[in-house]
Amino acid sequence: MPHPPAQKKGDGSKGEGKQPFQSVKGMADILPKDAQWWYMMIDAARTVSELHNFHFLETPVVEPAALFESGTGLSTDIVEKQMYVFKTKGGDRVALRPEGTPSVMRSYLEHHLGYYALPLKVFHYGPMFRYERPQAGRERQFHQWEFDILGDGDPIYDVEIILAAMDFLKALKIKNPLLKINTIGCRVCRPGYRERLKSYYQTRKEKLCEDCVRRLQTNPLRLLDCKEKRCEELKRNAPIVLDYLCQACNNHFRSVLELVEDNGIAYEPDPYLVRGLDYYNRTVFEVVTPSSPGSVAGGGRYDYLAEQLGGHMVPAVGIAMGLERVMEVLKKEGVVPPQVRNRPTVFFAAVGEQAKKASLRIMRELRANGIVVVEALGKRSLKAQLKAANRSKISLALLLGQQEVFEGSMMVRNMVTGAQETVVLSNLVEEVKKRLR
Protein backbone atom coordinates (compact mmCIF):
# COMPACT_ATOMS: atom_id res chain seq x y z
CA MET A 1 0.00 0.00 0.00
CA PRO A 2 1.40 3.45 -0.92
CA HIS A 3 2.26 5.53 2.06
CA PRO A 4 2.54 9.29 2.64
CA PRO A 5 5.83 10.58 4.09
CA ALA A 6 6.13 10.31 7.87
CA GLN A 7 5.55 13.43 9.93
CA LYS A 8 7.96 14.39 12.63
CA LYS A 9 6.55 14.20 16.14
CA GLY A 10 5.28 17.56 17.33
CA ASP A 11 5.40 18.89 13.76
CA GLY A 12 2.75 21.17 12.25
CA SER A 13 2.84 24.88 11.62
CA LYS A 14 1.74 27.44 14.17
CA GLY A 15 -1.63 29.09 13.99
CA GLU A 16 -3.41 25.95 12.77
CA GLY A 17 -5.21 25.73 16.05
CA LYS A 18 -5.22 22.60 18.14
CA GLN A 19 -2.77 19.84 17.22
CA PRO A 20 -4.29 16.45 16.46
CA PHE A 21 -3.37 13.74 18.95
CA GLN A 22 -0.17 11.80 18.54
CA SER A 23 0.88 8.45 19.96
CA VAL A 24 2.71 8.33 23.29
CA LYS A 25 6.49 8.71 23.07
CA GLY A 26 8.25 5.39 22.46
CA MET A 27 5.00 3.65 21.48
CA ALA A 28 4.52 3.30 17.75
CA ASP A 29 1.65 2.45 15.46
CA ILE A 30 2.30 -0.52 13.23
CA LEU A 31 1.23 0.79 9.85
CA PRO A 32 -0.16 -1.02 6.80
CA LYS A 33 3.15 -0.40 4.98
CA ASP A 34 4.86 -2.78 7.43
CA ALA A 35 2.19 -5.45 7.23
CA GLN A 36 4.27 -7.84 5.12
CA TRP A 37 7.08 -7.81 7.64
CA TRP A 38 4.77 -8.60 10.52
CA TYR A 39 2.96 -11.33 8.64
CA MET A 40 6.31 -12.79 7.69
CA MET A 41 7.59 -12.87 11.27
CA ILE A 42 4.37 -14.18 12.73
CA ASP A 43 4.05 -16.85 10.04
CA ALA A 44 7.60 -18.01 10.74
CA ALA A 45 7.03 -17.99 14.51
CA ARG A 46 3.76 -19.89 14.16
CA THR A 47 5.28 -22.49 11.87
CA VAL A 48 8.20 -23.06 14.24
CA SER A 49 5.80 -23.22 17.20
CA GLU A 50 3.75 -25.84 15.43
CA LEU A 51 6.71 -27.95 14.30
CA HIS A 52 8.17 -27.91 17.82
CA ASN A 53 4.76 -28.54 19.41
CA PHE A 54 4.64 -25.31 21.43
CA HIS A 55 1.06 -24.65 22.51
CA PHE A 56 -0.79 -21.34 22.36
CA LEU A 57 -0.88 -19.35 25.62
CA GLU A 58 -2.04 -15.77 25.87
CA THR A 59 -2.14 -13.79 29.10
CA PRO A 60 -3.46 -10.30 29.94
CA VAL A 61 -1.36 -7.20 29.34
CA VAL A 62 -2.11 -6.04 32.89
CA GLU A 63 -1.03 -8.14 35.87
CA PRO A 64 -0.63 -7.51 39.61
CA ALA A 65 2.49 -5.34 39.97
CA ALA A 66 3.69 -7.75 42.67
CA LEU A 67 3.94 -10.55 40.08
CA PHE A 68 6.91 -8.80 38.48
CA GLU A 69 8.29 -7.52 41.76
CA SER A 70 8.45 -11.10 43.10
CA GLY A 71 9.25 -12.69 39.75
CA THR A 72 11.42 -10.43 37.60
CA GLY A 73 12.93 -9.03 40.82
CA LEU A 74 12.89 -5.78 42.76
CA SER A 75 16.53 -5.00 42.09
CA THR A 76 16.30 -5.33 38.30
CA ASP A 77 16.20 -2.27 36.03
CA ILE A 78 12.98 -3.58 34.53
CA VAL A 79 11.10 -3.43 37.83
CA GLU A 80 13.04 -0.67 39.54
CA LYS A 81 13.01 1.87 36.73
CA GLN A 82 11.06 0.70 33.71
CA MET A 83 7.72 -0.62 34.90
CA TYR A 84 4.40 1.15 34.26
CA VAL A 85 2.58 0.76 37.58
CA PHE A 86 -0.80 2.22 38.46
CA LYS A 87 -3.65 1.86 40.90
CA THR A 88 -7.04 0.81 39.60
CA LYS A 89 -10.24 2.49 40.76
CA GLY A 90 -10.76 -0.48 43.03
CA GLY A 91 -7.38 0.20 44.64
CA ASP A 92 -5.40 -2.72 43.12
CA ARG A 93 -1.75 -2.05 42.26
CA VAL A 94 -1.28 -3.36 38.73
CA ALA A 95 1.39 -3.10 36.04
CA LEU A 96 1.61 -3.20 32.27
CA ARG A 97 3.67 -6.34 31.74
CA PRO A 98 7.34 -5.48 31.10
CA GLU A 99 8.05 -9.09 30.06
CA GLY A 100 6.15 -12.32 29.58
CA THR A 101 7.81 -15.02 31.65
CA PRO A 102 6.24 -14.30 35.07
CA SER A 103 2.81 -14.25 33.40
CA VAL A 104 3.46 -17.59 31.73
CA MET A 105 4.48 -19.12 35.05
CA ARG A 106 1.57 -17.52 36.88
CA SER A 107 -0.81 -19.04 34.36
CA TYR A 108 0.93 -22.44 34.58
CA LEU A 109 0.49 -22.48 38.37
CA GLU A 110 -3.00 -20.98 38.37
CA HIS A 111 -4.41 -23.47 35.87
CA HIS A 112 -2.29 -26.49 36.87
CA LEU A 113 -1.08 -26.73 33.30
CA GLY A 114 1.65 -29.15 34.30
CA TYR A 115 -1.04 -31.74 34.77
CA TYR A 116 -1.56 -32.07 31.02
CA ALA A 117 1.98 -32.50 29.82
CA LEU A 118 5.44 -33.08 31.08
CA PRO A 119 7.03 -30.81 30.20
CA LEU A 120 4.61 -28.19 28.90
CA LYS A 121 5.75 -26.31 25.82
CA VAL A 122 4.06 -22.98 25.14
CA PHE A 123 4.53 -19.93 22.98
CA HIS A 124 3.49 -16.49 24.18
CA TYR A 125 3.16 -13.43 21.99
CA GLY A 126 2.27 -9.79 22.50
CA PRO A 127 3.29 -6.26 23.45
CA MET A 128 5.58 -5.54 26.41
CA PHE A 129 5.99 -2.18 28.10
CA ARG A 130 9.16 -0.69 29.54
CA TYR A 131 9.76 2.91 30.39
CA GLU A 132 13.22 3.23 28.85
CA ARG A 133 14.92 5.94 26.85
CA PRO A 134 13.52 5.53 23.33
CA GLN A 135 16.15 5.09 20.60
CA ALA A 136 16.81 2.77 17.65
CA GLY A 137 15.83 -0.77 18.69
CA ARG A 138 14.50 0.42 22.03
CA GLU A 139 10.84 1.27 22.30
CA ARG A 140 8.55 1.66 25.29
CA GLN A 141 6.06 -0.68 23.72
CA PHE A 142 7.55 -3.55 21.76
CA HIS A 143 6.55 -7.09 20.84
CA GLN A 144 8.04 -10.35 21.97
CA TRP A 145 7.47 -13.87 20.77
CA GLU A 146 8.48 -16.20 23.55
CA PHE A 147 9.02 -19.96 23.75
CA ASP A 148 8.90 -21.70 27.12
CA ILE A 149 9.30 -25.28 28.33
CA LEU A 150 8.00 -25.79 31.85
CA GLY A 151 8.36 -28.80 34.08
CA ASP A 152 11.74 -30.32 33.24
CA GLY A 153 15.31 -29.34 34.12
CA ASP A 154 17.08 -31.58 31.60
CA PRO A 155 19.73 -29.75 29.53
CA ILE A 156 18.11 -31.11 26.38
CA TYR A 157 15.31 -28.58 26.94
CA ASP A 158 17.72 -25.66 27.20
CA VAL A 159 18.91 -26.64 23.75
CA GLU A 160 15.43 -27.24 22.37
CA ILE A 161 14.59 -23.67 23.34
CA ILE A 162 17.75 -22.35 21.68
CA LEU A 163 17.01 -24.38 18.56
CA ALA A 164 13.45 -23.05 18.37
CA ALA A 165 14.76 -19.48 18.36
CA MET A 166 17.44 -20.38 15.82
CA ASP A 167 14.87 -22.12 13.59
CA PHE A 168 12.78 -18.96 13.70
CA LEU A 169 15.73 -16.80 12.59
CA LYS A 170 16.62 -19.37 9.95
CA ALA A 171 13.07 -19.40 8.58
CA LEU A 172 13.44 -15.64 8.14
CA LYS A 173 16.84 -16.14 6.43
CA ILE A 174 18.61 -13.92 8.97
CA LYS A 175 22.34 -14.13 8.43
CA ASN A 176 24.93 -15.25 10.96
CA PRO A 177 23.04 -15.35 14.24
CA LEU A 178 25.43 -15.91 17.12
CA LEU A 179 24.47 -17.50 20.41
CA LYS A 180 26.14 -15.96 23.45
CA ILE A 181 25.92 -18.38 26.31
CA ASN A 182 26.87 -18.70 29.94
CA THR A 183 25.76 -20.31 33.17
CA ILE A 184 25.11 -18.48 36.42
CA GLY A 185 25.04 -21.50 38.72
CA CYS A 186 22.42 -22.43 41.27
CA ARG A 187 21.52 -21.93 44.93
CA VAL A 188 24.42 -24.12 45.95
CA CYS A 189 27.26 -22.52 44.03
CA ARG A 190 26.12 -18.99 43.21
CA PRO A 191 26.43 -17.56 46.74
CA GLY A 192 30.16 -18.38 46.75
CA TYR A 193 30.67 -16.65 43.41
CA ARG A 194 28.54 -13.74 44.52
CA GLU A 195 30.74 -13.18 47.57
CA ARG A 196 33.90 -13.40 45.49
CA LEU A 197 32.48 -10.89 43.02
CA LYS A 198 31.40 -8.60 45.80
CA SER A 199 34.84 -8.47 47.36
CA TYR A 200 36.42 -7.82 43.93
CA TYR A 201 34.20 -4.81 43.35
CA GLN A 202 34.28 -3.67 46.98
CA THR A 203 37.95 -2.79 46.64
CA ARG A 204 37.17 -0.84 43.42
CA LYS A 205 34.02 0.80 44.67
CA GLU A 206 35.14 4.36 43.96
CA LYS A 207 35.41 3.56 40.24
CA LEU A 208 31.83 2.26 39.92
CA CYS A 209 28.81 4.18 38.67
CA GLU A 210 26.18 5.21 41.20
CA ASP A 211 23.79 2.41 40.26
CA CYS A 212 26.48 -0.21 40.63
CA VAL A 213 27.47 1.00 44.10
CA ARG A 214 23.90 0.27 45.08
CA ARG A 215 23.80 -3.02 43.15
CA LEU A 216 26.87 -4.11 45.06
CA GLN A 217 24.64 -4.43 48.11
CA THR A 218 21.42 -5.61 46.47
CA ASN A 219 22.53 -7.81 43.56
CA PRO A 220 26.27 -7.97 42.79
CA LEU A 221 25.80 -10.15 39.68
CA ARG A 222 24.02 -7.25 38.02
CA LEU A 223 27.29 -5.29 37.98
CA LEU A 224 28.42 -7.49 35.12
CA ASP A 225 25.46 -6.29 33.05
CA CYS A 226 26.09 -2.54 33.52
CA LYS A 227 26.42 -0.65 30.23
CA GLU A 228 28.46 2.24 31.76
CA LYS A 229 31.92 2.40 30.25
CA ARG A 230 33.83 2.58 33.54
CA CYS A 231 31.96 -0.43 34.93
CA GLU A 232 32.51 -2.37 31.70
CA GLU A 233 36.24 -1.76 32.01
CA LEU A 234 36.32 -3.08 35.55
CA LYS A 235 34.50 -6.19 34.41
CA ARG A 236 37.49 -7.28 32.38
CA ASN A 237 39.37 -8.64 35.39
CA ALA A 238 36.38 -9.69 37.46
CA PRO A 239 36.26 -13.32 38.69
CA ILE A 240 34.29 -15.66 36.44
CA VAL A 241 31.48 -17.93 37.49
CA LEU A 242 32.91 -21.03 35.79
CA ASP A 243 35.57 -21.26 38.51
CA TYR A 244 32.90 -21.50 41.21
CA LEU A 245 30.34 -23.90 39.74
CA CYS A 246 29.20 -26.94 41.71
CA GLN A 247 29.49 -30.34 40.06
CA ALA A 248 25.82 -30.47 39.07
CA CYS A 249 25.89 -27.06 37.38
CA ASN A 250 29.16 -27.87 35.72
CA ASN A 251 27.72 -31.09 34.25
CA HIS A 252 24.53 -29.35 33.19
CA PHE A 253 26.38 -26.60 31.36
CA ARG A 254 28.75 -29.08 29.74
CA SER A 255 25.79 -31.07 28.39
CA VAL A 256 24.16 -27.91 27.04
CA LEU A 257 27.35 -26.90 25.25
CA GLU A 258 27.83 -30.37 23.81
CA LEU A 259 24.33 -30.39 22.39
CA VAL A 260 24.69 -26.86 21.02
CA GLU A 261 27.88 -27.97 19.32
CA ASP A 262 26.29 -31.19 18.03
CA ASN A 263 23.64 -29.13 16.32
CA GLY A 264 26.08 -26.84 14.55
CA ILE A 265 24.92 -23.66 16.30
CA ALA A 266 27.45 -20.82 16.08
CA TYR A 267 28.08 -19.91 19.69
CA GLU A 268 30.41 -17.97 21.88
CA PRO A 269 30.74 -18.63 25.60
CA ASP A 270 30.61 -15.30 27.43
CA PRO A 271 31.64 -15.79 31.06
CA TYR A 272 30.22 -12.40 32.04
CA LEU A 273 26.79 -12.80 30.52
CA VAL A 274 24.29 -12.54 33.39
CA ARG A 275 21.15 -10.93 31.94
CA GLY A 276 18.90 -8.43 33.63
CA LEU A 277 16.34 -10.61 35.41
CA ASP A 278 16.57 -12.10 38.88
CA TYR A 279 14.95 -15.46 38.33
CA TYR A 280 17.52 -17.01 36.04
CA ASN A 281 19.74 -19.86 37.15
CA ARG A 282 22.13 -22.09 35.25
CA THR A 283 22.04 -21.48 31.49
CA VAL A 284 21.57 -17.92 30.23
CA PHE A 285 21.82 -16.84 26.60
CA GLU A 286 21.35 -14.09 24.07
CA VAL A 287 21.27 -14.15 20.30
CA VAL A 288 23.03 -11.35 18.44
CA THR A 289 23.44 -10.72 14.72
CA PRO A 290 25.93 -8.48 12.91
CA SER A 291 23.06 -6.25 11.67
CA SER A 292 21.53 -5.52 15.08
CA PRO A 293 23.11 -3.20 17.63
CA GLY A 294 21.41 -5.05 20.52
CA SER A 295 20.38 -8.66 21.02
CA VAL A 296 17.48 -9.99 18.95
CA ALA A 297 16.60 -12.63 21.54
CA GLY A 298 17.37 -13.42 25.15
CA GLY A 299 16.53 -16.10 27.66
CA GLY A 300 17.64 -18.76 30.05
CA ARG A 301 16.67 -21.30 32.66
CA TYR A 302 14.42 -20.18 35.49
CA ASP A 303 14.00 -23.11 37.86
CA TYR A 304 13.22 -20.95 40.92
CA LEU A 305 10.60 -18.62 39.47
CA ALA A 306 7.62 -20.82 40.38
CA GLU A 307 8.72 -20.91 44.01
CA GLN A 308 9.25 -17.16 44.01
CA LEU A 309 5.63 -16.84 42.92
CA GLY A 310 4.46 -19.03 45.80
CA GLY A 311 4.18 -22.31 43.90
CA HIS A 312 6.05 -25.58 44.00
CA MET A 313 9.38 -26.05 42.22
CA VAL A 314 8.92 -26.03 38.42
CA PRO A 315 12.15 -26.21 36.46
CA ALA A 316 11.71 -24.22 33.25
CA VAL A 317 13.56 -22.56 30.40
CA GLY A 318 12.56 -19.93 27.84
CA ILE A 319 13.61 -17.42 25.23
CA ALA A 320 12.00 -14.19 23.97
CA MET A 321 12.58 -12.70 20.54
CA GLY A 322 12.16 -8.94 20.09
CA LEU A 323 10.14 -8.60 16.88
CA GLU A 324 10.88 -4.91 16.23
CA ARG A 325 14.59 -5.69 16.36
CA VAL A 326 14.15 -8.73 14.14
CA MET A 327 12.28 -6.56 11.64
CA GLU A 328 15.12 -4.02 11.61
CA VAL A 329 17.58 -6.82 10.84
CA LEU A 330 15.36 -8.09 8.01
CA LYS A 331 15.18 -4.62 6.49
CA LYS A 332 18.91 -3.99 6.85
CA GLU A 333 19.77 -7.32 5.29
CA GLY A 334 17.51 -6.61 2.32
CA VAL A 335 15.22 -9.59 2.90
CA VAL A 336 12.21 -9.25 0.65
CA PRO A 337 8.97 -10.17 2.39
CA PRO A 338 6.53 -12.30 0.42
CA GLN A 339 3.59 -10.37 -0.96
CA VAL A 340 0.69 -10.27 1.45
CA ARG A 341 -1.68 -11.02 -1.39
CA ASN A 342 -0.99 -14.32 -2.96
CA ARG A 343 -4.69 -14.88 -3.62
CA PRO A 344 -6.35 -13.91 -6.89
CA THR A 345 -7.30 -10.23 -6.68
CA VAL A 346 -9.68 -8.08 -8.71
CA PHE A 347 -10.65 -4.43 -8.67
CA PHE A 348 -14.39 -3.85 -8.58
CA ALA A 349 -15.89 -0.63 -10.01
CA ALA A 350 -19.54 0.39 -10.28
CA VAL A 351 -21.26 3.40 -11.76
CA GLY A 352 -24.75 4.56 -10.92
CA GLU A 353 -26.93 3.96 -7.89
CA GLN A 354 -28.39 0.65 -9.01
CA ALA A 355 -25.00 -0.77 -9.90
CA LYS A 356 -23.59 0.37 -6.59
CA LYS A 357 -26.46 -1.29 -4.78
CA ALA A 358 -25.91 -4.57 -6.61
CA SER A 359 -22.15 -4.46 -5.92
CA LEU A 360 -22.09 -5.79 -2.40
CA ARG A 361 -23.90 -8.96 -3.34
CA ILE A 362 -21.59 -9.69 -6.29
CA MET A 363 -18.48 -8.86 -4.29
CA ARG A 364 -19.61 -11.23 -1.55
CA GLU A 365 -19.98 -14.01 -4.08
CA LEU A 366 -16.45 -13.40 -5.38
CA ARG A 367 -15.02 -13.31 -1.83
CA ALA A 368 -16.88 -16.49 -0.91
CA ASN A 369 -14.94 -18.09 -3.75
CA GLY A 370 -11.55 -16.99 -2.42
CA ILE A 371 -11.13 -13.95 -4.64
CA VAL A 372 -9.80 -10.77 -3.00
CA VAL A 373 -11.92 -7.77 -4.00
CA VAL A 374 -10.54 -4.23 -3.84
CA GLU A 375 -12.83 -1.29 -4.51
CA ALA A 376 -13.23 2.47 -4.25
CA LEU A 377 -17.02 2.53 -4.46
CA GLY A 378 -17.23 5.75 -2.46
CA LYS A 379 -15.96 7.55 -5.54
CA ARG A 380 -18.69 8.45 -7.97
CA SER A 381 -17.04 8.54 -11.38
CA LEU A 382 -15.64 5.57 -13.24
CA LYS A 383 -12.54 7.60 -13.98
CA ALA A 384 -11.75 8.12 -10.31
CA GLN A 385 -12.36 4.47 -9.58
CA LEU A 386 -10.13 3.30 -12.41
CA LYS A 387 -7.42 5.65 -11.23
CA ALA A 388 -7.57 3.89 -7.89
CA ALA A 389 -7.38 0.55 -9.73
CA ASN A 390 -4.21 1.68 -11.48
CA ARG A 391 -2.70 2.86 -8.23
CA SER A 392 -3.34 -0.44 -6.54
CA LYS A 393 -1.60 -2.22 -9.46
CA ILE A 394 -4.32 -4.80 -9.89
CA SER A 395 -4.37 -6.29 -13.36
CA LEU A 396 -8.04 -7.27 -13.60
CA ALA A 397 -10.96 -4.88 -13.10
CA LEU A 398 -14.67 -5.73 -13.07
CA LEU A 399 -16.99 -2.94 -14.18
CA LEU A 400 -20.67 -2.76 -13.39
CA GLY A 401 -22.89 -0.09 -14.97
CA GLN A 402 -26.60 0.46 -15.39
CA GLN A 403 -26.73 -1.65 -18.52
CA GLU A 404 -24.82 -4.57 -16.99
CA VAL A 405 -27.21 -4.62 -14.03
CA PHE A 406 -30.07 -4.78 -16.45
CA GLU A 407 -28.45 -7.56 -18.50
CA GLY A 408 -27.13 -9.54 -15.54
CA SER A 409 -23.55 -9.25 -16.76
CA MET A 410 -20.22 -7.56 -15.95
CA MET A 411 -17.46 -6.01 -17.98
CA VAL A 412 -14.06 -7.61 -17.34
CA ARG A 413 -11.14 -5.36 -18.20
CA ASN A 414 -7.49 -6.30 -18.41
CA MET A 415 -5.84 -3.25 -16.88
CA VAL A 416 -2.53 -3.91 -18.61
CA THR A 417 -3.75 -4.28 -22.21
CA GLY A 418 -7.03 -2.38 -21.84
CA ALA A 419 -8.93 -5.25 -23.54
CA GLN A 420 -12.40 -5.83 -22.18
CA GLU A 421 -15.16 -8.39 -22.50
CA THR A 422 -18.65 -8.90 -21.19
CA VAL A 423 -19.25 -11.89 -18.97
CA VAL A 424 -22.54 -13.29 -17.71
CA LEU A 425 -22.86 -12.87 -13.94
CA SER A 426 -23.58 -16.55 -13.37
CA ASN A 427 -20.17 -17.36 -14.92
CA LEU A 428 -18.29 -14.51 -13.27
CA VAL A 429 -16.34 -16.46 -10.65
CA GLU A 430 -15.22 -19.04 -13.17
CA GLU A 431 -14.27 -16.39 -15.76
CA VAL A 432 -12.28 -14.39 -13.20
CA LYS A 433 -10.41 -17.46 -12.01
CA LYS A 434 -9.63 -18.42 -15.59
CA ARG A 435 -8.12 -15.02 -16.27
CA LEU A 436 -6.06 -14.92 -13.09
CA ARG A 437 -4.56 -18.34 -13.48
Binding site for ligand ATP (CB under 6 A): 99, 130, 132, 137-139, 142, 144, 275-276, 294-298, 320, 322, 324-325
Q: Answer whether 71's CB lies under 8 Å from 105's CB.
A: yes
* CB of 127 or CB of 311, closer to ligand ATP: 127
Would strands 120-129 and 141-150 be described as parallel, antiparallel, or unpaired?
antiparallel
**Looking at residue 422, what DSSP letter applies?**
E
Residue 270 annotated as lining a ligand binding site? no
Closest C-alpha among 307, 312, 319 to residue 115: 312
Provide, rounded to whole angstroms, the least separation between the CB of residue 323 and ligand ATP.
Answer: 8
* CB of 302 or CB of 347, closer to ligand ATP: 302
Residue 59 annotated as lining a ligand binding site? no
Provide, rounded to whole angstroms, the least separation between the CB of residue 74 and ligand ATP.
Answer: 16
Provide, rounded to whole angstroms, the least separation between the CB of residue 294 and ligand ATP.
Answer: 4
If you write DSSP's letter for every residue of 133-159 in order, what string do you get?
A: --BTTB-SEEEEEEEEEES---HHHHH
For residue 119, is the peptide bond before it cis, meaning its omega torsion is within 30 degrees of 0? yes
Residue 279 annotated as lining a ligand binding site? yes
Task: For residue 156, count other CB atoms closer than 10 A to its CB.
Answer: 12
Residue 84 annotated as lining a ligand binding site? no
Q: Answer whether 288's CB lies under 8 Å from 178's CB.
A: yes
**Looking at residue 13, what DSSP letter applies?**
-
Alpha-carbon Rg for the chain, nearest whole angstrom, is 28
Angstrom distance (rounded) from CA 91 to CA 36? 42
Q: Answer whether 328's CB lies under 8 Å from 135's CB.
A: no
Provide, rounded to whole angstroms, the least separation between the CB of residue 324 and ligand ATP.
Answer: 5
* CB of 128 or CB of 159, closer to ligand ATP: 128
* CB of 81 or CB of 254, closer to ligand ATP: 81
* CB of 25 or CB of 434, closer to ligand ATP: 25
Q: Which residue is nearest to ligand ATP (CB)?
A: 322
Residue 275 annotated as lining a ligand binding site? yes
Residue 101 annotated as lining a ligand binding site? yes
Residue 157 annotated as lining a ligand binding site? no
Binding-site residues from annotation: 99-101, 130, 144, 148, 275, 279-280
Binding-site residues from annotation for L-histidine: 99-101, 130, 144, 148, 275, 279-280
